Structure 1
Amino acid sequence: MFVDDPKEVRDTDVSAIAALDEPTRRRLYDHVVRQPGPVSRDDAAAALGLARQTAAFHLDRLADESLLDVVYERRSGRTGPGAGRPAKLYRRSGKQIAVSLPDRRYELAGRLLAQAVEESAATGAPVRDVLHRKAEELGARLEEPGGASLFELLERYGFEPRQEETGAIVLGNCPFHALAREHTQTVCGMNLHLLRGVLQGLGERAYTACLAPAPGRCCVRLEPAGA
């Protein structure tokens, strides 16, 4: 399973949401997504009472942020010489945008849980055993191509690590918070094995991941090896 760079995805999503803060741009976006088919600059400008140049500027900005897709069609239906240039049209993109504070990774958890259920159904292996293995395998693959420290990787995936005087690393945020509250044993076990995989993937032998639930933080704690 491929996992996109979470910082890059988050930055892109924040930029896209910021683009919708401009009132005219938001009106254009809402107009386009309500239409049954792609919308031209002229159609959008006429529908909202805007100058064509204004509509074009904001529509292109929405396309640059991947909020709208651009397609080209001949509105006359004619083809061949004399049919004219295809019109530039806009429609809702397939991009999904979500920004949460604190950082949450529910899609990642959902993929792991779905994979575990499917493999369990196909092989008869216990779902929890499969989930733990899948989580550990994923954690081991999260290492970045350019190399990243343990702290950098934990920060990138929303765990908010901080080091205590004892040398232990406490994780101030659980990316699966709501799920962990309702399905504690399942989700915390998945998270434990995910972080064990992270340590394995980084070749990090100075720490051991263990369950240490406490209010206001992740259920997993990284203890100095041998502590």
Structure 2
Amino acid sequence: MTVGFTLVCVDHSNEAPGGDVSAVAALDEPTRRRLYDHVARQSGPVGRDDAAQALGLARQTAAFHLDRLAAEGLLEVVYERRSGRSGPGAGRPAKLYRRSGKQISVTLPERRYELAGRLLAQAVEESDATGEAVREVLHRKATELGAQLGERETAGVTDLLERHGFEPRLDGEAIVLGNCPFHVLAREHTETVCGMNLHLLRGVLSTLGEEGWEARLMPSPGHCCVRLLPVA
């Protein structure tokens, strides 16, 4: 199942996926969704009174739902004087709402196609500029990204893998990855995407201090193509 809401495309790759689920749940309420759609269609920020009048709602109801949308990051709050005047006597700025720059994408099982697309685009662009083979650049970029993820991790490798949708679990002495975040791409472009994934996870291990594990390509049905095995 895929539920997607594309607002304004910005990078929120460091956000926890649970935040997107909460935002989608907020839009499941009919009145709240109508308010969101109304604000999104306007060319400028919308006030509570205007939104309530446009949708035939009580002002208190509109204010409640607008604030909930803002709390979920779906709307941004700005303050403006609607009279156009400034200085003493101009009155208090009005609380207004506009669509935020947050992008939401929720997939079950979790997928990370944007991450794969970014790595592939970087590899093609750098290959065009330097003449280096695209796959070599892709592997290097994936390793660098994995290292960056590992540097930011404060727990361990299984926590990082869980947070990024790999669904790690022990299988004997190995760590098996029950989900591939790049599933469709890996199925159609197996060698390219699985190689990228392998180097991504090798980069993770390189900076996590997890010398006891190594990432290997070991494809099997129903699992990610990479497994983590204890170093002999």
TM-score, normalised via structure 2 length: 0.89
* Greater mean deviation of Cα atoms: 83-92 or 38-47: 83-92
Cα RMSD for the two superposed structures: 1.8
Q: For structure 1, which runs of at least 5 residues remain unmatched after alignment? A: none
1:112 corresponds to 2:119: yes
Provide the C-alpha distance between the structure 1 equivalents of 2:81 and 2:223, rounded to a whole number of angstroms: 56
Shift of 1:126: 1.0
Partner of 2:177 in structure 1? Answer: 171
Is it true that 1:215 corresponds to 2:232 in the alignment?
A: no
Q: Cα distance 1:144–1:3, how it changes in 2: closer, same or farther (>3 A)?
A: farther
More displaced, 179-188 or 75-84?
75-84
- Matched residue, 2:7: none
Which of 30, 37, 41 is matched with 2:37 structurally? 30
Which residue matches 1:190?
196
One-letter amino acid of the counterpart of residue 202, structure 2: R
What residue number does 1:159 align with?
166
Matched, 1:150 2:157: yes
Q: Which amino acid aligns with 1:122?
A: A
Percentage of matched positions with identical amino acids: 76
Report 1:1-227 matches (<5 A): 4-5=13-14, 8-143=15-150, 145=152, 147-165=154-172, 167-226=173-232
Pick which of 91-100 and 206-215 moved more. Answer: 206-215
In structure 1, how many angstroms separate the alpha carbons of the residues matched to 2:195 and 2:183? Answer: 13
Q: Which runs of 5+ in 2 are unaligned?
A: 1-10
In structure 2, what is the Cα distance between the partners aligned to 1:142 and 1:209? 15
Query: How much does 1:144 deviate?
Result: 5.5
Q: 1:147 to 1:87 in 2, by over 3 A?
A: closer
Higher relative contact order (CA 8 A, sep 6+): 2
Q: Residue 131 of structure 1: CA displacement?
A: 0.7
Structure 2 CA distance for partners of 1:85 and 1:54, relative to 1, 3 Å: same
Letter in 1 for 2:139: H
Per the TM alignment, residue 75 of structure 1 is displaced from its structure 2 partner at its CA by: 2.0
The letter of the residue matching 1:136 is T
Aligned to 1:99, the other structure's residue is in SS state strand
Segments ≥4 residues shifted beyond 6 Å:
none
Deviation at 1:145, TM superposition (A): 4.6
1:98 counterpart SS class: strand
Mapped partners of 1:160, 1:136: distance in 2: 20
Q: CA deviation at 1:84?
A: 2.3
